[in-house]
Structure 1
Amino acid sequence: MWEFVSERWQDIAYRAFQHTSLVVQALVLATVIAIAVALLVTRVKALEPVANAISAIGLTIPSFALLGLLLPLVGIGTLPSVLLVTFYATLPILRNAVVGLMGVSPLLMESAQGMGMSAFGRFLRVQLPLAWPVIMAGLRTSAQMSMGVAAIAAYALGPGLGQYIFTGLTQIGGQNAVPYAVVGTVGIIILALLLDAILLLVSRLTTSKGIRA
């Protein structure tokens, strides 16, 4: 195993960077989409059950099945990987964003309006900061799930360590089958733990001290 890693450490490091980059970019897109949809839900309360249903049902769709639907539409490579990871990343964030934004006291919003704040100002300075810890909890859950989904996206020749896992599976019985699968799997686990630690730190740094747990 050590010889396998030492001979390929540069490729492993590059694929680990690709994997992390794919997940982080998808998380950024997913967060923007989720907060925008959640904000719409807070304005149109009838959309809340719809958003919750989409979050729940979306998570039950097998990632391989969705990837199979994407391939005829967008081909193979990076694009289907980004779309796949972004879709699944959005769901936990959306659910938590709806809960967080809806949980802000209407009295606080009315007080902010009475102080002359615009709708955008109330969202940016009152609603979003109060809902932020809940949103970040969803973001951390989404990050862990996205690491695994990004590995599955390698089936469509997407970037990342998932290629090592699929290479190992296709070479079962071969000399390097196990090292390929182990390096890919362990590498993704390590990346997931590191990303979660970074997001936890970001959550603490960006959460107001008055509401920090």
Structure 2
Amino acid sequence: MLSDLWDFVSSRREQLLIDSYQHVSAVIQCVLIATVIAVVVGIVVYRSPLGSATATALSSAVLTIPSFALLGILIPVVGLGVPPTVIALVLYALLPIIRNTIVGLGSIDPGTTDAARGIGMGRLHVLARIELPLAWPSILTGMRVSTQMSMGILAIAAYAKGPGLGNLIFSGLSRVGSPTAVPQALTGTVLIVILALILDGIYIVIGKLTTSRGLHA
């Protein structure tokens, strides 16, 4: 088994590198899009209990839809390939970031923002200079969770001809019984796990570099 796996990896190195790059690239881009949307939503609703509950409930509802079902709904509307993949990943990535944005902004001491306004800072200035930096560790945690979720969901997006390592897994599973079926599916799965761990480590480094020592403490 190990020799078959090594032979498969050795003979497909270039394609595996391309598939790995596409997988990571797609996940990062979709999480960034989701972050922009989620942070804007969080800023709009975090002061309103009803708005916060509604935003969280709607984004939670998306996670109750099975990946295959959501992709199946999107394919007739936007076709195969990148469009349904991006839409699905962005929708699935929203909940952790929205929830953490609301928690992060809502946990800021009102006295801090009142003091900033007291020295003449406007609402947008307070948001950009005080609130978002204080909420950043929470937002980054949401991004971290969404990234890990998206790494697995993107594999399923191969059903819609999406990019990445999922195609390798699906191809292997469709050829069960052939000599390369198990190495192919196993290689795709292991690479996704390894890449997910690497991205998680990168998030930890980003958090340490972008969070002030006071917030670390």
Fold match (TM-score > 0.5) = yes
Q: By how many angstroms is 1:91 displaced?
A: 1.4
Equivalent of 1:36, from 34, 40, 46? Answer: 40
**Is the deviation greater in 42-51 or in 21-30?**
42-51
Residue in structure 1 matched with residue 83 of structure 2 by the alignment = 79
Q: CA deviation at 1:44?
A: 4.0
Deviation of residue 115 (structure 1)? 1.2
Contact 2:158 2:164 in 1 (8 A): yes
Alignment of 1:1-213 (within 5 A): 1-213=5-217
CA displacement at 1:55 relative to structure 2: 3.1
Matching residue's letter, 1:13: L
| Structure-2 separation of matches of 1:200 and 1:97 | 18
Aligned residues: 213
Secondary structure of the 2:195 match is helix
For structure 2, the 5+ residue unaligned runs are none
Aligned equivalents of 2:59 and 2:107: distance in 1? 18
**What's the secondary structure of 2:213's corresponding residue?**
coil
**Deviates most, 159-168 or 53-62:** 53-62
Query: Structure 1 regions of 5+ residues with no counterpart?
Result: none
Cα RMSD over matched residues?
1.1
**1:75-113 deviation line (CA, Å, top 9, x unaligned):** 001111111111111111111111111111122111111
Q: Report the TM-score, using the length of structure 1 for normalisation.
A: 0.97
Alignment TM-score, normalising by the size of structure 2: 0.95
**Consecutive aligned runs of 4 or more in structure 1 exceeding 4 Å deviation:** none
Q: For residue 108 of structure 2, what is the amino acid of its counterpart?
A: V
Measure, in 2, the Cα distance between the counterparts of 1:175 and 1:91: 41
Deviation at 1:57, TM superposition (A): 2.2
C-alpha separation in 2, matches of 1:56 and 1:73: 23
